[in-house]
Amino acid sequence: MPSRDAGSRSVASRRYRRHAALLAGTSALAMLVYASPAEAVCVGRCSAGGVANAVSATAASALADAQRAAQVAQDAQNSLARATQAIRAMQAVQSAARSLAQSTPSSVPNGLVPGGLQPNMPAGWTGANAPTQTTSGGQTVVGIQQTAPQAILNWQTFNVGATTTVNFYQRGNPDWIVLNRVLDPSGRPSQILGQIKADGQVLLINQNGILFGGASQINVHTLIASALDLGISDGTFLKNGLYSSQLPSGTSGAGAANFSLPGNGGKVIVQPGAVIDTSDSLAPNGDGGYVALLGNGGVTNAGTIIAQNGQIILASGNSITLTTPPSNAVGVGTAKQ
């Protein structure tokens, strides 16, 4: 009997060594799966075959689990690869559309001229100096120096030519806002074919609609492009800012901006190749601003809109309300009636 027990222990020992070698050849995941409470246990005198069979079954189960985990990981990797390919394909389409738009002649004039950027000083120009213009290397730069946290600029036309850049200088304040109201008697939408830059918030209102061409580039902290006018007076805006309307029933926040004066069914359209980007203008608290495109007759985006730590809002209707949270936390809610 003692010799038999020794033989059993010898066989079991050899089988355990084979089992250890098998585990050493599996993945770390298999090792973790094996190291679970569900291990084979033999109490008292057991035969070598019984121990080996239990250990072999456990190892086979661990290996199967490892293979399933490897397949899941491979499927995830394949999905990521397909998503990456889709993104690259979309980027290629946008790049091609942008190149085509840049090579297409435009009838929109550049700079501060009738039919282009034409201020309407009699209607009011508050909170900013008169615009300036420089031209160099075929590029026209229109600069507007804001002098107060809230500014209202009225325009006869607000059309940005393909080689024009409009700079709103807001002294590095992401919470400063400039309201640009277009009073075009011809009833035409504003065409943005060039660039708009700002440290803070740019609000563009044209009740006839707004078009962002395929070569346009917008780099601001916040952009609101609306075919509906504000539901507050200019005096209230200058005194209290954009979010000074009463909150709609059932909503919460520090204030509301109500766009409730519809125009002529104006649409807001972002063409393929256009880029609206707020990611370069993060506030010190991490607020990434937002992009809100508000139409009366519809909103279409076929371009690229980027808002890091912010929101992108596309809404159309006769009354649209934007609400802010009660703190400086990032977020803009919408309610459409």
Identify the pLDDT of residue 66.
86
Segment 235-262 mean pLDDT: 85
Candidate from 47-56, 171-180, 277-286 with smallest mean pLDDT:
47-56
Instruction: Examine the pLDDT at 108 and tell me if it is beyond 70.
Output: yes
Phi/psi of residue 38, nearest 5 degrees: -85, 65
Identify the pLDDT of residue 210.
98
Candidate from 9-13, 138-142, 246-250, 323-327 with smallest mean pLDDT:
9-13
Candidate from 214-228, 276-290, 300-314 with smallest mean pLDDT:
276-290
CB 171 within 8 A of CB 177: no
All residues at 6 or more sequence positions from 138 whose CB lies less than 8 Å from its CB, including other chains? 163
Confidence of residue 13 (pLDDT cuts 50, 70, 90): very low
All residues at 6 or more sequence positions from 124 whose CB lies less than 8 Å from its CB, including other chains? 152, 154, 234
Q: What percent of the chain has pLDDT over 90?
A: 52
Q: Which two tokens stand for residue 174?
A: 């992401």
Residue bearing the bigger pLDDT, 332 or 305: 305
Report the greatest alpha carbon distance in the chain: 115
Identify the pLDDT of residue 56.
78
Residue bearing the bigger pLDDT, 142 or 331: 142
The whole-model pTM stands at 0.74
Segment 104-119 mean pLDDT: 96
pLDDT digits over 190-241, tens only? 999 999 999 999 999 999 999 999 999 999 999 999 999 999 999 999 999 9
pLDDT digits over 127-146, tens only? 999 999 999 999 999 999 99
Segment 316-335 mean pLDDT: 64
Instruction: Examine the pLDDT at 280 and tell me if it is beyond 70.
Output: yes
